[in-house]
Structure 1
Amino acid sequence: MLNLVIFGPPGSGKGTQGVKIAEKYSLEHVSTGDLLRNAIHNNTAEGMIAKSFIDKGELVPDDVIIDIMDVFMEKLPIDKGILFDGFPRTVAQAEALNGLLIDHGRSLSALLNLEVENEELIERLVLRGQTSGRSDDNEETIKKRLEVYEAQTLPVLDYYKKKGVYKSVKGVGDIEEIFTNICQVLDKVVEAEV
């Protein structure tokens, strides 16, 4: 059973490709943003804690996100694989995810890293900002987001390289071409697990 993390900088196409991967490989596509919104909407204890941080404009602490992820995994059938999108973002979150997977009788099959050059990312995000009206998709903000990504989340890649589950995928080309690249990598992962 596949349990995957899709990884890459802002604008790399994680969301678009994540939906396609989840559909093709029958995985539960989960993003921390969706989990947080659901927990808040359902007035769970974890959701109310998360809301208190969000309302102050602060990041939700790792332990709250891990608790929400734990509740989600508890409800998921053991034979259903998971695609984690936007999580983990730090080495501490990666270590916590590893513990959660073990607690739920699972292991991570692969981390898929969508490789895209910064110039291409900036171009994509500026274009997205022009078409979607997202205020955070302007060149200055994008460059700051990429700096934060490199500082905080690139160490996560090293963590997974050491675990032997890191897989690099060229994230440039049209959507179908990138998806074909991803499937070639994932089909090998599936074969290795059988």
Structure 2
Amino acid sequence: MTSIILLGAPGAGKGTQARLIAERLGIPAISTGEIFRTNMASDTELGRRAREYMDRGEFVPDSVTNPMVQARLAAPDTERGFLLDGYPRTLAQAHVLRDLLVDMGKRIDVVLAIEVDENEVVERILKRAQEQHRSDDTEEIIRHRLEVYHKATEPIATYYADQDLLESVDGSGTVDQVFARICEVLDRIGTERR
């Protein structure tokens, strides 16, 4: 069983790497966005509550997010492990996740932090915005999002580093180069824990 948390700033390539890791390990890549969409499409009570917040442009609170994550982690396809992308986003969520996993008899094996130079991230997002004709991604907005991300996730990174679970991966270069670095970490960890 391999259970992974993937950390990385917006534009670091988390979504792409999450898919590749999940394919390699045969585990589901779980993002909060996917959980929200599934619950809203199924018109669950939690999905309706999430939609209310999202329609107002507000963050979905932990009182809605945490039970959705708990239900998703209880699904049969997570028995061999899972990859969490975008959760936990706060220290409070990290504590809830720890307690959920203990109750389920599961644990996190590794927290992969994809590290990319901030200027490179800004360039990536600006390029993507141009390709997708998104005018809302200006450099000022991107840098603000990165600032918010760093404030929120630095305590999470420290929390997992204190448990010897955090592994930093250089996120610069091509998708294949980054994935090769991630595979090296996963292979090393797999060998160390046997």
Normalised to the residue count of structure 1, the TM-score between the two structures is 0.96
Q: Which residue of 1 aligns with 2:64?
A: 64
2:145 matched to 1:177? Answer: no
Secondary structure of the structure 1 residue equivalent to 2:191: helix
State the aligned residue count.
Answer: 194
Q: Which residue of 2 aligns with 1:191?
A: 191
Could you list the per-position Cα deviations for residues 135-181 of structure 1 after superposition, in whole angstroms to 9, with x for gaps in the alignment?
A: 33221110110110111121110111111100000001111011000
Q: Which residue of 2 aligns with 1:74?
A: 74
Single out whichever of 126-135 and 33-42 deviates more from structure 2: 126-135
Structure 1 unmatched ranges of 5 or more: none
Q: Distance in 2 between matches of 1:99 and 1:76?
A: 19
Q: Which residue of 1 aligns with 2:8?
A: 8
User: In 1, are the aligned partners of 2:27 and 2:77 still within 8 Å (CA)?
Assistant: no
Q: Distance in 1 between matches of 2:18 and 2:12?
A: 11
Normalised to the residue count of structure 2, the TM-score between the two structures is 0.96
Single out whichever of 49-58 and 74-83 deviates more from structure 2: 74-83
Q: Distance in 2 between matches of 1:10 and 1:78?
A: 26
User: In 2, are the aligned partners of 1:15 and 1:85 still within 8 Å (CA)?
Assistant: yes
Go from structure 1 to structure 2 and tell me whether the alpha carbon gap of 1:78 and 1:20 turns closer, same or farther (over 3 Å shift): closer
Q: Distance in 1 between matches of 2:53 and 2:191?
A: 43
What is the identity, as a one-letter code, of the residue corresponding to 1:60?
Answer: V
User: In 1, are the aligned partners of 2:4 and 2:112 still within 8 Å (CA)?
Assistant: yes
2:37 matched to 1:44? Answer: no
Q: What's the C-alpha RMSD, in Å, of the aligned pairs?
A: 1.2
Could you list the per-position Cα deviations for residues 93-139 of structure 1 after superposition, in whole angstroms to 9, with x for gaps in the alignment?
A: 11111111112111000100001111111111111111122333221
